[in-house]
Amino acid sequence: MLAIGPLFFVGGLFIGLGLAAGLGAIFIVGLVLNAVLGFSEIIRDEILGPVGNNAYRYYANDIQKSGACLLAVINDLLNVTKLESGSVVLEDRPENPHDIMEQAIKLTRNATGDERAVAFILPGMLPTLTVDPRRPAQAVGNLLANALKSTPVGGDVRLRLVPQQDGGVIQSVEDTGIGMAQETIAAALELFCQLDGSLSRKFEGAGLGMSIAKVLTELHGRRLGIASEVGSGTIVTLWLPASRVAHYFARALSVRGGRR
């Protein structure tokens, strides 16, 4: 049942119980779901011994996949609520943007299992950013996951960093995937929005990734913009103000996360 529509299940709790009670119910569901995932893993991997009929292992695997999808929705929902309530405290420190990109790639690969190379396009001199590195890494990771999902094998996904004349920097996540129609770009930033078209039909999700990225971006005084065209890919741009940019330093030649 979970695979049929985890978002409808989660949304129903909010409609039926209200926001506060809904959040409490979602938290409890998450705890129960973790137990279900654990037991299904025991059956799938036959940890306690053979299950006899192979069909049980296939069913357990289906429970694992569907449950993991629902758990991701729950975690994202709780994350958004915490962000929008203003309860997140930034722990700013000087940070290398290349390290943030590397962390974003790790987060994306852990979440999606997609090991395709991601191209880095960086200037010869990198700025030191004054940020809470966990937040931009999560924002870029969410955007990168969207880019990989919408880009078929053989397409390109890039992370780019460009210094600006006003002292700020622009970071962008670029892909050559299916793109979005102009009338759906604004909707892409709305909570629980799954865009119509081949992307929403091919990939399940709650439509929270872009919204979380937007909120995380704004925490640092940044702005998020989207440029896209159907069939021509998407560029999501993050503007970081000069107040969060410190000195520049020469970057190392090696790039660990993908190809340069």
Q: For residue range 99-109, what is the model confidence (pLDDT) as tens digits?
A: 999 999 998 98
Q: Using alpha carbons, select from 215, 237, 217, 210 the residue that is nearest to residue 226.
A: 237
Beta carbons within 10 angstroms of residue 21's beta carbon: 12
Q: How far apart are CA 11 and CA 163, in angstroms?
A: 41
pTM: 0.69
Query: What CATH fold (topology level) applies to the domain 93-250?
Result: Heat Shock Protein 90 (3.30.565)
Tokens of 50: 């053979």
pLDDT digits (tens, 9 = 90+) for 190-232: 755 555 444 444 444 445 677 778 888 888 787 899 999 999 9
Q: Tell me the CA end-to-end span of the chain in Å, nearest whole number.
A: 44
Q: Helix 6-17 vs helix 19-44: angle between axes, to the nearest 10 degrees?
A: 150
- Per-residue pLDDT, 24: 62
Low-confidence ranges of the chain (pLDDT < 50): 1-22, 196-206, 253-257, 259-260
Q: How far apart are CA 148 and CA 145, in angstroms?
A: 5
Q: How far apart are CA 175 and CA 186, in angstroms?
A: 18
Indicate the domain borders of the chain. Answer: 2-84, 93-250
- DSSP SS3 for 35: helix
In the chain the beta strands, taken as DSSP E runs, fall at 93-95, 119-121, 125-131, 157-163, 169-175, 223-229, 233-240, 245-250
Tell me the residue type at 204. E
